[in-house]
Amino acid sequence: MRREWSIARRLFFAHALFIVVLTVFIGTAFFVDARDRGYDETSTRMLAVATAIADSPLVLTASTSVDPSASLQPYALALTKDAGLDFITIMAPDRTRWTHPNAAEIGNDYIGAVEPARSGTAFTEISTGTLGPSVRAVVPVRDADGIVRALVAVGTTTSNITVALNARLPSVLGLAVGLLASGSVVTWLLGRYLRRVTLGWGPEHLAQLFVYYDSVLHSVREGLVLVDRRGDLVLYNDQAARLLGIPPRAAGDSTSPAPAVTELSLPPSLGELLQSGRTVHDEIHVTDTRVLVVNQEPAASTSVRGGKSMGFVATIRDHTDLQSLGSELQSMRTLSDALRAQTHEHSNRLHTIVSLMELGRTHEALAFATADLELSQQLADEMVGSVDEPVISALIMGKSAQANELGVALTVTASGTLAQSGLSIQDLVTVLGNLVDNALDAAAAGAAPRRVSVTVSSTERALTIEVADSGAGVAPDVIDDVLRLGFSTKGGGSAGRSIGGRGLGLALVRQAVTRLGGTLTIGRREGAVFTVSIPAAVRSADSQAVVDHG
C-alpha cells in the first residue's frame, strides 16, 4: 500500500518546483532584458557616430568631388579602427558605396534599407549585409539647402554584441543561483516546521481525524472544554454548552470564535478554575441550577513545542440528579438518626420501668410509662398538627430528636397548607433540611440557652421559610461568602470540595432557591436568621413542569 505524502513533503516539492520555475523565468527575463538593452545601447552609439560623420564638412565636400572614395576611404578606415566599429559605409543617395572595410565592395550597391535616410530621416536597424548580421544606423548628409548629397551607414556585427552580452551572463547566473539557493533553504525550513506541527500526516489523514474527533465531541456524554494558556475557550462540545449555558457550535464549525471564559456567566469559583489551569480531580462547583463535578489536566504533546503545555482540558459531569438522590439519602439518614435517638431513649425508659417493677414499685412504673407516652404523643401531635406534609413532619421530628441530643430546643410554627404549596418534596427537604442542620450546629456551638425556631408560612402569593438560631450569627463581612461552595465557619475550613463535605449545604440551598426564582436573605436577631421566599407564580410553573415531565 502506497504511503500518502505528508503536507510537509507536498509543500516542499510544490514550493521547490515553484522556485525552479521562478528562477528560470527571472533568469530568462534578465537575459532578454540585458540583450535588448545591449542592442538599444549599440543602436544609440551607432546613431551618434553616424550623425557626427554626417556633420563633418569633409564628407559633404567629398560628395561633390569627382572621386569621393579617394578622400573618404582612408578617413572611414581610420575612424572605424579608432571607434571600434565593424564598418563605416559612406554612399551616394543611389546606394553606390564610396567606402567599405573591404575595398572590393567599393562601387557596389549598399545592402540594406536607405529610404528613410533619402527622405532626410536618420534611423537604426538590424540587418544582414556583406559582413553578416549587424546593428547599423543610417544618417543623411545634407547641404545648406537641405538636399541629401550622401548617406552614412555605421554598424557593428551582432557577434560583437553577443560577446558583450556574454560578459553579463555571470551576474545573471549568479542572481539565478542565489535565488534558487535561498528559495530552497526557505522551502526546507518551512517543510521541516510543517512536518513537526502536523506530525508528518497528510491532509487526507488530518481531515479524517478531524471528522472523527468532531463526531466524538458531539456524542460524548460528559462536557469537554479546552482552554488555552491565556484562559480563553478553544473548543467545547454540546454537553459542555448545555452545562455552562454556552450557545452550541454546529458540527464542523471552526470559523466562529469561541467565547472567552470571562464572557460566560459562570460561578466565580468555576471561572477561576478554568482560567487558572489548576490540576483538579472531582472538584464540586455549584451553579444556579446544577451541581457540576470538574476534572482538569494540562493538554500537552511530546511531539509539538517540545512537550510544553498547549492549554488545559476540563471534563464536566452533571451531578445534579445524584445530588438530589443524596439529599433524599440525607433525609433518610435524618429519619434513621431520629429512630436511633428515639430507640436509645426508649431503651433507657424501658430499663427504668423494668427496674421499678422489679423493685415492686408497680404504681410508680405505671405512672412513669403513662407520662412518657403522653409526652411522645404530644410531640407527634404537635408536629402533625403544625406541618401537614408527612415527609416534612417526619423530617422535623428527626431534627427534633437530633436537637434533643444536642441540647437544643427546636420549635416549629407553620401556617397555610404546605402540602399544596407547589414545591416538590425534594426541594423542601433540600432547603429546610440544610437550613435546620446549619442552625442546629450554630446553636449547639453557642452559649445556653440553645434554641432554634422554624417558621413556615404558605400563602397564595409566596412560601416563606424562616430559620433562626441562638448561635453567634453570621459576621457582616462573610455574608456574601457564606453561601459559596466550600466556605464554612465550622472546623475544617474549606474542606467542602467533595460531595457531602462542609460548605456544600448552604450552596445547595442557594441553588435551589435561585432555580425556583426565590430569594435568600441572611439577617440577625438573637443569632443568625435565614429567610427564604419563593413566589407563588414560580412555584406553580415549576410544579406544572414537574407534572408535565413526571
* Position 512, amino acid: A
Kindly indicate the confidence band of residue 397, based on its pLDDT and cuts at 50, 70 and 90: confident
Arithmetic mean of pLDDT, 450-465: 86
The pLDDT of residue 487 is above 60:
no
Average pLDDT, the chain: 75
Environment class of residue 391 by beta-carbon count within 10 Å: exposed (0-12), middle (13-18) or buried (19+)? middle
Q: What is the mean pLDDT of residues 61-90?
A: 86
Phi then psi dihedrals of residue 145, to 5 deg:
-90, 0
49: alpha, beta or left, given left = phi > 0 and alpha = psi -120 to 50?
alpha
> Which part of the chain is CATH 3.30.450.20?
7-166, 220-250+259-318
> In the numeric block, which cell numbers belong to residue 540?
406553580
Is the predicted pLDDT of residue 547 greater than 70, yes or no?
no
- Sorting pLDDT into bands at 50, 70 and 90, what band is 526? confident
Question: Residue 452: pLDDT band by 50, 70, 90 thresholds?
Answer: very high
Within 8 A by CB and 6+ apart from 99, the residues are 69, 72, 73, 75, 76, 77, 88, 89, 90, 91, 106
Residue predicted with more confidence, 179 or 529: 529
| Predicted confidence band of residue 483 (pLDDT cuts 50, 70, 90) | low
**Residue 283 pLDDT level (bands cut at 50, 70, 90):** confident
Give residue 165's pLDDT band: very low, low, confident or very high (50, 70, 90).
low
**pLDDT for residue 2 is more than 80:** no
Alpha-carbon 102 to chain mean position: 84
pLDDT at 468 over 90: yes
Q: Which helix (H) or strand (E) holds 140?
A: strand 132-142
Q: What is the pLDDT of residues 76-85, one digit of tens each?
A: 898 888 888 8
- Burial profile 22-42: b = 16 or more Cβ within 10 angstroms, e = fewer: ebeeebeebbeebeeebbeeb
Q: List CB contacts of 308: < 8 A, sequence separation 6 or more.
A: 300
Phi, psi of 471 (to 5 degrees): -75, -160
Residue linked to cell 476540563 = 314
- In sequence order, what are the beta bridge partners of 109? 96
Q: 323-549, superfamily in CATH?
A: Histidine kinase-like ATPase, C-terminal domain (3.30.565.10)
- Within the chain, all domains assigned CATH 3.30.565.10 are found at 323-549
Residue 230 has pLDDT above 80, yes or no: no
CATH class of 220-250+259-318: alpha beta
Residues 136-159: tens digit of each pLDDT: 889 998 888 888 889 999 988 776
Could you report the per-residue pLDDT of 16-35, keeping only the tens digit for each? 777 778 777 877 777 777 77
Q: Which CATH class is domain 7-166?
A: alpha beta
Please choose, from the candidates 507, 511, 516, 515, the residue with its C-alpha nearest in 3D space to the C-alpha of residue 535: 516
Return d(Cα 515, Cα 510) in angstroms, integer: 8
Rounded CA-CA distance 116/139 in Å is: 9
